[in-house]
Amino acid sequence: MALFKKKEINLPPPQHIAIIMDGNGRWAKKRGLPRTAGHGAGAEAFRRTANYCRTLGVKYLTVYAFSTENWKRSEEEVSGIMKLLGKYLEEALADMEKNHVRFRFFGDLSRLSPELQTLCQNAQERSSEYDEVQVNFCLNYGGRDEIVKAAKSFAREVAEGKRKPEELTEQLFDNYLYSAGVPDPELIIRPSGEMRTSNFLLWQSAYSEYVFMDVLWPDFSPKDLDAAIAEYHRRNRRFGGV
């Protein structure tokens, strides 16, 4: 048993881990704090987890920060989240150069404030040459929205005579997604106890291993990531074979 455990620890981590950063509101409620306090603690958990992924040698980390459905929340909560994102991104821009982290944003950024859009663009452009770790930040992201946008882009190219409908394959379709060029995540972690995708990476998760955990996102620690990776290594991935 001890030997088995040792072997688990030595196994390389997946090259792409995706996380649905859920449970901030419940974390705050448990402490009698406003929901925005939970989002602040969630931002810290993200920083901690991204650093740990870098230490482990994870190449891609994709995080779900705000969904196309999250606009349904109160104006107060949404503006609190946007403010935090602005603050976080400004700090991330400063850190990025030091840590050689590449940032990409998946989602429809046009609905964000002009200031936030500029921060996202700056982060994306200024880090585009880094290739050690890549963080894909899903902001105003929806898996269905992503697929519809990809279909529209392809249809537009067909209408312009640049493509033929018969040319479309699963591989080519990948190029029209926000995640173009990024391999599919091997592991998707959802903390907070909820067991659903909530519109996250619908196309890319076809063969991802899901690990659902009871911990609330602001409490998520390197130990939890280790546990999720160990669980991933215990899975038997068959991809439809035997």
Which residues make up the interface to ligand IPE (CB under 6 A)? 20-26, 64-67, 70, 81, 192, 194, 196, 198
Least distance (Å) from ligand IPE to the CB of residue 239?
27
Least distance (Å) from ligand IPE to the CB of residue 201?
11
Catalytic residues: 22, 70
Query: Which of ligand IPE, Mg ion, none does residue 198 bind to, with CB < 5 to 8 Å depending on kind?
Result: ligand IPE
Q: Judged by CB under 5 A, which of 22, 146, 186, 224 binds Mg ion?
A: 22
186 binds Mg ion (CB under 5 A): no
38 binds Mg ion (CB under 5 A): no
Least distance (Å) from ligand IPE to the CB of residue 84?
10
Nearer to ligand IPE by C-beta: 90 or 194? Answer: 194
Closest residue by Cα to residue 175 from 160, 193, 157, 196: 157
Nearer to ligand IPE by C-beta: 18 or 154? Answer: 18
Kindly report the length of the chain: 242
Query: Which of Mg ion, ligand IPE, none does residue 87 bind to, with CB < 5 to 8 Å depending on kind?
Result: none
Q: Which residue is nearest to ligand IPE (CB)?
A: 25
Piece of the chain touching Mg ion by CB under 5 A; list 21-29, 96-104, 203-211, 234-242: 21-29
Least distance (Å) from ligand IPE to the CB of residue 139?
9
Q: What does the binding site for Mg ion look like in residue numbers (CB under 5 A)? A: 22
